[in-house]
Amino acid sequence: MFASVIVDIPSKSVNQVFDYRVPSGMEGLIQVGHRVLVPFGPRTIQGYVMSLDETTDFDPARIKEIARTLDIEPVLTEEMITIAMYLADYYVDQYISVIETILPAALKANYKKVLRLADSYTQEAENALAQVSNGSEVEIKRLDPDALKTLSPYLKSGDIREETVITQHTKRKMALAVHSLKQSDVDLSRAKKQQELYDVIDASSEPVFVRDLVNDGFSNALINTLHKKGLIAKVEAEMERDPYSDRVFTSDPPKVLNSEQQHAYDRITSSMDAQEAKTFLLHGITGSGKTEVYLQVIQKVLDEGKTAIMLVPEIALTPQMVNRFKRRFGDDVAVLHSGLSHGEKYDEWRKIKEGRARVSVGARSSIFAPFQNVGAIIVDEEHETTYKQGDRPMYHATEVAKFRSRYHDCPLILGTATPSLETFARSERGVYERLELTMRAGTKVLPEISIVDMSEEHRTGNTSIISGTLEAGIRQRIEKGEQTVLLLNRRGYSNFQICQSCGYVPMCPNCDISLTYHKSNRSLMCHYCGYESAVHRTCDNCQSDEVTFRGTGTEKVEEILRDMFDTEVVRMDNDTTRRKGMHEKLLDHFEQAEVPILLGTQMIAKGLDYPKVTLVGVLNADTMLNLPDFRANEKTYQLLTQVSGRAGRHELSGEVIFQTYNPTHYAIQLAMENDYRSFYEKEMAFRRLARYSPYYFHVLFTVSSEDIRKCLKATTHIHDTLVQEVSDQSIIVGPSPSPLERINRQYRFQIMLKYKREPELLKMLNNLDEHYHEAYRTEGISLRIDVDPLVIM
């Protein structure tokens, strides 16, 4: 028996399967998807079994044996192996990179080189090793040069050998527990507390954690007394890391669907009954009850003994969505997102793998939840760019969802109020079935939206970022005890520092971007590479003291709001939500303490549902319009529409105010009118004229190097390759500097390929990737190939 194995080496030169012999004692034990230890060159490394076969194309005498297996049950299903191979090929990446993305980080191997005594060794070797270590082995990287020199003779003689120890990144969490020894003649009538403790332990079919007993009021001394009497035994038991163990979720029964919701539910479930791999676009205005449709579809899935995957775009959305799912489905729900620790994610992943959870809720990577029998997949806010991974492998979660939908013959539901143009175009052509929800659930109506021209505000003498109209609206809500949500998609205190004498602006030394002022820690920061420097009160260029700050970020607006309204403000941006659990804590505080104002970046624009929020203000609706990106208008429309939907979602009516310097721009005007169809038609006309998606597919090539000449040389080579390899119908744009030409000391140039059909494209991309993989090693030139890019910055 031979196994084809992908080895844990992130290198293009070994991006293939290698054949290994399955030892006779392991035949039947090793399965497809197992992690194994295999010899590779002079070392032993981890690998993944991709297939098993009775024969091999190579000389059997030269094939090495698998050293051992690391699992009882395979960590990869056959479906996940198929997905890994598909994604690696489609997105031009290495198999091992995709496999490690699919699996939780806890399963990643840790490699440690140690020195150990050989099977036969001299007393001198043992003494020498004992001098530099506390045991029979020592980690090489912890030895100083003198210690290595001392051990060198014994390494040469073979008395001491070097070994690679491979351990799992995160292990199962163990804790001290006790269980009853079931003694028949227990008499603790004179020791009531001991009797009470024994009854608790004896009544449990599983070991009881000592920590839980102590929390319930039983002392360690009392536990030890029962142990000494031989009534209980102490054991190490696994303690599952449950991020929601301290939460109580009240039951949430299904709601009555309105006619549009019922029609959507019926169409989706009929596809489910027919076992069709059909994709639905659930196009519903904000507050139309899309989530209730999701919940009832999933209930049917569970009733049929199947499983369901629910994707949300951002961690900030997850708390409220998790609450709704936990209230409806209880312990059947596993949560997977980046806000959890490695251990928590590992335990949630195992709940799914072992069949103890049948529904997953999470962000992008939870599309890889290891369910066996998927009955429905839901992608909420399908238009969000966060579903596309920014680092390698640059997969799109929706593409993986389509793959899994086909694999399991189950429906895929793409839900949103503002579909991406690509998705809506497919629904227009009948590739997806579109289901419309045009009215808000219950008796609620859409909020009234108005536009404030900030140029006019300035002409009348108001230079504040808060317009007179918005200020009056906020004051009115505070008086009524209602709440306001304010959006400003720019964090920090001020955009930049400037000298009014010479015009000097402090720039990041690593990137072509000005430094942003953060008042909380009195520093200038780069939001791209993390560079930070102290604020100087004199100009670094001319030593003038006429230094000031320009522009406004969320930190400064928070200060303005506190001064203007003398009230508490909850601020949500990357600075305030950096620590674990802060998203949920801030939102809970906003709701429970009824804080009048929630201020934040785009993370607050979607998914939030609070009954007292009746006013939404967008402080600068133009932020995204000015981006050098062909999707800038689309992103602006989507953001404005989504944040508008936070107002008036319950009994109270809502109002929305857009502040802008471009009041006549169609993206802003049509967002005010909530007219997606008109926006779609107008934007599609521009896309057709400029030959962009969805009329063309795209591949973005980004070359980076510390040497700008190497960038120019590499992009010229890529351009020449494209000219030779692609057809005349395709369009090559560039080479040109990236919109941000330098990030983290790396110059960046890019080329955009627009194409409709290129049968040999994948082969060419792999050749370029392989060429520049070697160029990175020898010359420091990096090539990033982004298939179907969503961001061109």
Distance CA 784, CA 793 (A): 13
Cβ neighbours around 275 below 10 Å, total: 12
Query: What one-letter code names the amino acid at 618?
Result: V
Tell me whether residue 529 is annotated as binding: yes
Q: Are strands 160-168 and 109-117 parallel, antiparallel or unpaired?
A: antiparallel
Distance CA 433, CA 421 (A): 15
Tell me whether residue 410 is annotated as binding: no
- Check if the beta carbon of residue 333 is closer than 8 Å to that of residue 326: yes
How far does the chain reach from its first CA to its final CA, in angstroms?
Answer: 50
Six-digit token string for 435: 């289901």
Query: What one-letter code names the amino acid at 610?
Result: Y
Distance CA 241, CA 342 (A): 10
Six-digit token string for 555: 């930190």
Q: Which helix (H) or strand (E) holds 447?
A: none
Sheet containing strand 208-209, edge to edge, reads 208-209, 174-180, 232-238
Angle at 161 between CA 156 and CA 162, to 5 degrees: 110
Cβ neighbours around 728 below 10 Å, total: 6
Six-digit token string for 758: 């290129």
Tell me whether residue 502 is annotated as binding: yes
Tell me whether residue 508 is annotated as binding: yes
Tell me whether residue 526 is annotated as binding: yes
- Check if the beta carbon of residue 416 is closer than 8 Å to that of residue 383: yes
Tell me whether residue 711 is annotated as binding: no
Q: Where are the beta strands (DSSP E) in 356-472?
A: 359-362, 374-380, 412-416, 433-437, 448-453
> Which value, in Å, is the radius of gyration of the alpha carbons in the chain?
30
Distance CA 31, CA 440 (A): 51
- Check if the beta carbon of residue 536 is closer than 8 Å to that of residue 547: yes
Half-sphere exposure of 202 (CA within 13 A, CB side): 14
**Binding-site positions:** 499, 502, 508, 511, 526, 529, 539, 542
The annotated binding site for Zn(2+) is made up of: 499, 502, 508, 511, 526, 529, 539, 542
